[in-house]
Amino acid sequence: MNTNPSEATAPAYNRSRQAREAETLLDRIQDDFPDNPQAMRYFYDLFRRVYCQGEPVKHEGTLVGTTCIHAPEELIYAFGATPVRLCNGSYHYDQIGADFMPAKSCPLVKATLGSLHAKAAVPDTKSLELIVNPTTCDQKTKASAMIEAMGYRVHDLELPPAKESEEARLYWQRSVRRLALRLRELTGRKLTRNNLRQAMARTARAQTAFRTLHQLRKSAPALFLGKDAFLVTNAYFFDDLDRWTAAVERLNAELQLRQMEGFQAAQKRAPRILFTGSPPIFPNLKLPLLIEEAGGVVVADETCSANRMLYDMTAVDEWLLNDMVDGLADRYLKPCTCPIFTRNDDRQRRLLQLAADFHVDGVVYQAFAGCQVYEMEYRSIADVLAAQGIPMLYVETDYSPDDMGQLSTRIEAFLESIKTRKRNAR
Amino acid sequence: MKKIRDAINGVDLRRFRFLLQLFFFVLLVYGGYFAVNLGQSLPTFACGFNDAGRGGICYLLPLQHQLAMSWGTLFGWAGLMVLQGFLFFALWFFILNKGWCGYICPLGTIQDWITSLRTRLGVRYSRYTEGQFRRLSLIKYLLLALMILIPLGIGGALLPHDMGTPFCDICPGRMIIPMFTGDFSQLTIDFSTKTTMVMTALGMLVTGLFLAGAFFKKRFFCFFCPMSALHYLLSKPALLKLKKDGAKCTRCGDCYRVCDMEIREIADEVKEPRIMQDDCIMCLKCVAHCPEQGALKATFAGIPIFESTEQGFIKRMTKGHHDEHKPQ
Ligand code: SF4
Ligand code: SF4
Ligand code: SF4
Ligand code: SF4
Ligand code: SF4
């Protein structure tokens, strides 16, 4: 990891708090586990270069920030622009962002604000020409004006608070069309059937790669650890789309080989965990990492930094612009299991199905202190899981490292209880 | 076995359907030239007015004729004949269920061809609003009722005889299908009586609407089709079935998006496994466009024959992404 002299004269990024935070985490991810897949090197290096050394990620055309998975990326790509997801996981920025929000607010929103406020943030925020802010939870919605006050251009992408009705669907389809108009103004380009189709082909390939990885994690004993999976999907936030996809395809190929060789990434008895709730975002992979350091293995997740972001795919009937755009709109609304919507039966069903498909032994539910929607859904999720006899650990936490000790005790106890259950069941 | 199943589930449904529809179109519209005769109880619009080419006859024609017999005859020995016709109709239907609509009906096929023409021209489709949809889907039952009551009225001498086969008079099949064998004689207004004049003029109008409607709206006519209403009354026990496993469904709405009949339940309903709704034409496009393994499937006599799979979905979509020429 060589730094050239011209970079050395710039402010010593690699000694910033953010860089150290990232480095500590990457060290744990890499060094605490034997037998990391070779193909993971790409991702480890990527994070080290970008987060620890502040190397910029090259992008094509206009850089457009998004603050949530509801912003249709294909549209952004179709206009020759590049999306970057701004949801931030750094404790350092969480503290900076605390100035903007009330005391008990979501660390994710605070960190995002903090990173936008900061001078040399990662991922790069200086070159943002537009931020697409879907009106999801109250905190994100209200963040919009604050971001604007920092001098950014913001597009409020209006998202309906319910997704079941046909009215909501049509409202959202119109909202997505409005975004297309805004992007046209911004980039001066036109949306055509061909550029949209190419953009959709690129994300579809990425989603396919993700799905393959996802399916590989069904295998028992586990082939692959959750900490790496989260790192892979977190790279999607800022990495070049095609390069990311190629790297995941290489990883999949390696895991398929491992599968044939009967490789085990975790002990045979390792409790298989389904992760749900507030999204683990680099470098806040605290909870999944603690689970796996304690001998569990995260085999699947239902979070918007991984599965919810990449799993669902767009169907098109007629490859004409109107049907493609509406299809995209549907893809970003209908299957979404985000708790900001009125009802959550889709989330419940998704969790039950994941638990069944991935032979899950227990669920870990992360709720960021201050993220009301996840806190509010805790009960209903706990109830449906309990009805199926699936144990769940509810963890309220934030970005500060202070609760690590206490958390690891709770996680160990949870994993232990699962093991006991399994032993008794046999 | 698994290989075969994967191949079937990965089929390019659009092509498969196109070919099958073409085959049945030729069979029913030109079959007569090859001495094909499938009888006169077919549960599909194999129009009987296509004298030369028909390979079988649409059941609605004999049904209306029979019901128009004088009541004395109808409720006497001829009743058995009516019953027999209905039985054959039900038997044909029993095998394929609404598959007759998605794969066989010549009028359905013609509408799909018109849709193809539209997409090639790059013209977008229109949709009904939800309210319109709910109201429109009742019309077919009204037509069915009229189609039965009017001939009965004639038989009972309550209505004039020249209303003969009231639905055939206004059915677009009567004018369009014979044209395929070069018979344009139906394309006229019958001035013999006032009733025939009104009815055939109405028929012209409906035919015009059929052609124009189908251009803008996928399967425009099927929303009003009384044959479809009659089908639905019998569809419960049929062998071909559309099933849904709600637990596997993410409610992504992909199936609903592609459904020509705008059937919302196909995506939203997650409790009832028998998912077929009254407007469904069993085209199975929903199954082909569902990305979730086994969420939707078509079964025949309880055996799954076509199932939604991740691989199949990806294959079909990738084809769409890379198909340079055709917007379809
Ligand atoms: S929790 Fe919901 S609103 Fe928040 S970032 Fe994730 S998807 Fe968006
Ligand atoms: S006119 Fe219509 S209803 Fe009558 S026989 Fe022909 S297709 Fe059937
Ligand atoms: S619903 Fe459509 S496909 Fe079915 S019989 Fe009627 S016209 Fe034919
Ligand atoms: S496409 Fe499949 S998963 Fe999506 S809503 Fe329809 S049945 Fe459910
Ligand atoms: S529900 Fe499925 S089979 Fe029925 S009409 Fe719609 S797409 Fe075709």
- The pLDDT of residue A122: 76
What's the whole-number mean pLDDT along residues A75-98? 95
**Predicted confidence band of residue B325 (pLDDT cuts 50, 70, 90):** low
- Which residues in chain A are closer than 8 Å to B249, comparing Cβ atoms? 349
Contacts of B182 (CB under 8 A, 6+ apart): none
Residue type, A402: D
> Whose CA is closest to A306, among A241, A214, A199?
A214
- Which residues in chain B are closer than 8 Å to A323, comparing Cβ atoms? 124-125
Inter-residue contact A311 to A304 (CB < 8 Å)? no
- The pLDDT of residue A7: 40
Report whether pLDDT(A338) > 60: yes
d(C-alpha A358, C-alpha A275), whole Å: 12
Answer with the residue of higher pLDDT: B92 or A1. Answer: B92
- CB pair distance less than 8 Å for A201 and B130: no
Inter-residue contact B310 to A207 (CB < 8 Å)? no
DSSP secondary structure letter of residue B223: G
Contacts of A1 (CB under 8 A, 6+ apart): A48, A49, A52, A53
- The pLDDT of residue A399: 95
Tracing tokens 């996680």 back to the chain, one arrives at: A411
Sheet holding A63-66, edge to edge: A82-85, A63-66, A128-134, A154-157
Residue type, A364: V
d(C-alpha A170, C-alpha A325), whole Å: 12
Cis peptide before A288 (omega within 30 of 0): no
Summarize pLDDT for B110-160 with one digit per residue, the tens. 999 999 999 999 999 988 887 887 788 889 999 999 999 999 998 888 888
Inter-residue contact A155 to A129 (CB < 8 Å)? no
DSSP secondary structure letter of residue B274: B
Tracing tokens 């209200």 back to the chain, one arrives at: A142
> Whose CA is closest to A330, among A70, A65, A64?
A70
d(C-alpha A176, C-alpha B238), whole Å: 42
Residue type, A266: A
What's the whole-number mean pLDDT along residues A278-294? 96
In angstroms, the separation between the Cα of residue B110 and the nearest Cα of chain A is 18
Q: What is the ipTM of this complex?
A: 0.92
Give the β-pairing of B296-300 and B240-244. antiparallel
The finding on whether B263 has its CB within 6 A of some atom of ligand 5 is yes
Summarize pLDDT for A123-146 with one digit per residue, the tens. 777 889 999 999 999 999 999 999
d(C-alpha A58, C-alpha A175), whole Å: 30
- CB pair distance less than 8 Å for B318 and A323: no
Report whether pLDDT(B38) > 80: yes
Summarize pLDDT for B236-245 with one digit per residue, the tens. 899 999 999 9
Report whether pLDDT(B328) > 60: no
Q: Which of B321, B324, B328 to mutate to test the interface with A (most CBs of A within 10 A)?
A: B321
> Whose CA is closest to A217, among A286, A173, A265, A159?
A265
- CB pair distance less than 8 Å for A334 and B313: no
What's the whole-number mean pLDDT along residues A149-155? 95
- The pLDDT of residue B2: 85
d(C-alpha B280, C-alpha B265), whole Å: 11
Q: How far is the CA of A305 from the centre of ligand 1 (A)?
A: 9
Contacts of A400 (CB under 8 A, 6+ apart): A91, A94
Summarize pLDDT for B161-173 with one digit per residue, the tens. 777 789 999 999 9
- The pLDDT of residue A141: 95
d(C-alpha B99, C-alpha B239), whole Å: 10
Helices B130-155 and B60-67, packing angle to 10 deg: 40
- The pLDDT of residue B324: 63
Percent above pLDDT 90 for chain A:
87
The secondary element (H helix, E strand) that includes residue A154 is: strand A154-157
**Predicted confidence band of residue A107 (pLDDT cuts 50, 70, 90):** very high
The finding on whether B47 has its CB within 6 A of some atom of ligand 5 is no
Give the β-pairing of A128-134 and A154-157. parallel
For A70, phi then psi, to 5°, come to: -80, -10
β-bridge partners, A134? A157
Inter-residue contact B24 to B56 (CB < 8 Å)? no
d(C-alpha B98, C-alpha B120), whole Å: 28
Summarize pLDDT for B47-97 with one digit per residue, the tens. 999 999 999 999 999 999 999 888 888 888 888 999 999 999 999 999 999
d(C-alpha A67, C-alpha A85), whole Å: 6
What's the whole-number mean pLDDT along residues A251-264? 95
Ligand 3: which of B28, B45, B259 to mutate, judged by most atoms within 8 Å of the beta carbon? B45
**Predicted confidence band of residue A175 (pLDDT cuts 50, 70, 90):** very high
What's the whole-number mean pLDDT along residues A338-347? 94
Summarize pLDDT for A361-412 with one digit per residue, the tens. 999 999 999 999 999 999 999 999 999 999 999 999 999 999 999 999 999 9
Provide the token pair at A420: 């006991």
- The pLDDT of residue A8: 40
Task: Put residue B241 in one of left, alpha, beta given phi > 0 → left and psi -120 to 50 → alpha.
Answer: beta
Give the β-pairing of A272-277 and A297-302. parallel
Tracing tokens 């997650």 back to the chain, one arrives at: B270
In angstroms, the separation between the Cα of residue A422 and the nearest Cα of chain B is 25
Inter-residue contact A402 to A368 (CB < 8 Å)? no
Question: In this structure, which ligand is nearest to the CA of B280?
Answer: 5
β-bridge partners, B209? none
Q: How far is the CA of B284 from the centre of ligand 5 (A)?
A: 5
What's the whole-number mean pLDDT along residues A179-190? 96
The number of CA neighbours under 13 Å toward the Cβ of A257 is 9
Confidence (pTM): 0.93
Report whether pLDDT(A121) > 90: no
Pocket of ligand 4 (CB under 6 A): B 249-255, 267, 290, 292, 295-296, 308
Inter-residue contact A371 to A394 (CB < 8 Å)? no
- CB pair distance less than 8 Å for A320 and B124: yes
Cα of B21 vs its chain's centroid, Å? 12
| Nearest atom, ligand 2, residue B171 CA | 2
Mean pLDDT for chain B overall: 92
- The pLDDT of residue A11: 52
- The pLDDT of residue A125: 78
> Whose CA is closest to A284, among A241, A234, A237?
A234
Report whether pLDDT(A6) > 50: no
Mean pLDDT for chain A overall: 93
- The pLDDT of residue B326: 54
Distance of CA A402 to CAs A113, A176, B48, Å?
22, 41, 82
d(C-alpha A79, C-alpha A325), whole Å: 13
Inter-residue contact B273 to B243 (CB < 8 Å)? yes
The finding on whether B286 has its CB within 6 A of some atom of ligand 5 is yes
Answer with the residue of higher pLDDT: A16 or A143. Answer: A143
Residues across chain B: 328
Contacts of A417 (CB under 8 A, 6+ apart): A391
Provide the token pair at B321: 């992404």
d(C-alpha B25, C-alpha B22), whole Å: 5
- The pLDDT of residue B172: 95
